[in-house]
Amino acid sequence: MLPPLATLHLAVDGPVGHLTLDHGKANEMGRAQLDDLAQLCAWLEGGPVAALITTSVRVSSKGTPIFIAGANVTERIGWSDDQIRAHVRLQRATLGRLRRAPVFHIAVVDGVALGWGTEFLLACDYRIATPGARLGLPETGLGILPGAGGSSELPDRIGVNQALRLGMTGEQINGAEALRIGLVDELCASRDEAFDRARGLAGRAATRSPTAIAAYKAAVLAAAGLAADARAEVEARAYEHCVASGDAAIGRASFAAATEGRPVEWGAYRPWSP
């Protein structure tokens, strides 16, 4: 059963979920969207799909494609400082939870992805952009800073100097420049081409053991920044979880089918936490 999302649109095609952004004036992200993302995360954590593709169909009145134009700042008019601080902490926690969701999460970025839109990409596993993508962090021009990963996570992704460039100048970059500095992972000529590429990657992930790909993602994220012996221990425990789940035995028994790309009947998804 799909989660009851009020503003975001979720569909499922076998083992692949499709999250479509199409709300408000410019896919701005506010309290209602945070509630929906929390519902989405709870659903994903149950292992119903192996991959998730996030894209947008929102277009401005001038015909400009929009991924996420930013946070819904106007809803905060009249809020107290305490309310704003709590809300931004919730934003940060929600994107952190989405980052750890046990699926291969691919974003297709076409058009405007500013502020929260750029930060949302940091919560994805793979980012495919078009040349018309427009990314940036305008927050310091509004008297704040990127508070949902743009200060804490972005430097690890693109390096300190590039993060300072984006955050301190508010400069907007296109898809080609985002690829050059590592903010996105691939560039496709059009949204349709990017979506086809995303579907191809998601389809490949969906043929694999849900338990194994979830454990692999958890291990990769948990090992980052640890000393070598600690990284090895995380890997060992993740591997041993796959053995204990029974999927390692299924993989051995189905070796020919798996290597030839034929379907394999994997066991039920079993979550693992580092």
Q: In what order do the strands lie in the sheet with 9-13?
A: 9-13, 16-21, 51-56, 104-109, 126-129, 186-187
Domain count, the chain: 2
Instruction: Specify whether 225 is located in the same domain as 150.
Output: no
Q: Are 71 and 37 in contact (CB under 8 A)?
A: no
Helix (H, G, I), strand (E, B) or coil at 143: coil
Instruction: Specify whether 116 is located in the same domain as 238.
Output: no
Instruction: Specify whether 187 is located in the same domain as 55.
Output: yes
Structure tokens at 48: 């119903």
pLDDT tens figures, 49-74: 999 999 999 999 999 999 999 999 89
Q: Given this model, what pLDDT does residue 172 score?
A: 98
Amino acid letter, residue 132: G
Backbone angles phi, psi at 59, to 5 degrees: -130, 140
Instruction: Specify whether 158 is located in the same domain as 221.
Output: no
Domain assignment of residue 3, yes or no: no
Instruction: Specify whether 45 is located in the same domain as 96.
Output: yes
Q: What is the pLDDT along the chain (274 residues), one digit of tens a residue?
A: 899 999 999 999 999 999 999 999 999 999 999 999 999 999 999 999 999 999 999 999 999 999 999 999 899 999 999 999 999 999 999 999 999 999 999 999 999 999 999 999 999 999 999 999 999 999 999 999 999 999 999 999 999 999 999 999 999 999 999 999 999 999 999 999 999 999 999 999 999 999 999 999 999 999 999 999 999 999 999 999 999 999 999 999 999 988 887 889 999 999 999 9
Instruction: Specify whether 142 is located in the same domain as 221.
Output: no
Can you give the pTM of this predicted structure?
Answer: 0.96
Instruction: Specify whether 29 is located in the same domain as 156.
Output: yes
Instruction: Specify whether 88 is located in the same domain as 116.
Output: yes
Instruction: Specify whether 150 is located in the same domain as 84.
Output: yes
Helix %, strand %, coil % of the chain (to 5):
45, 15, 35
Domain assignment of residue 27, yes or no: yes
CATH code, domain with 139: 3.90.226.10
Distance CA 99, CA 122 (A): 8
Domain assignment of residue 1, yes or no: no
Domain boundary among 162, 178, 205: 205
Q: Are 11 and 55 in contact (CB under 8 A)?
A: no
Structure tokens at 108: 């297709």
Instruction: Specify whether 103 is located in the same domain as 228.
Output: no
Q: How many CA atoms lie within 13 A of 100 on its CB side?
A: 17
Domain assignment of residue 195, yes or no: yes
Instruction: Specify whether 234 is located in the same domain as 163.
Output: no
Owning domain of residue 48:
9-205
Structure tokens at 239: 């591997």
Q: Given this model, what pLDDT does residue 232 score?
A: 98
- Helix 210-223 crosses helix 228-245 at what angle (to 10 degrees)? 170
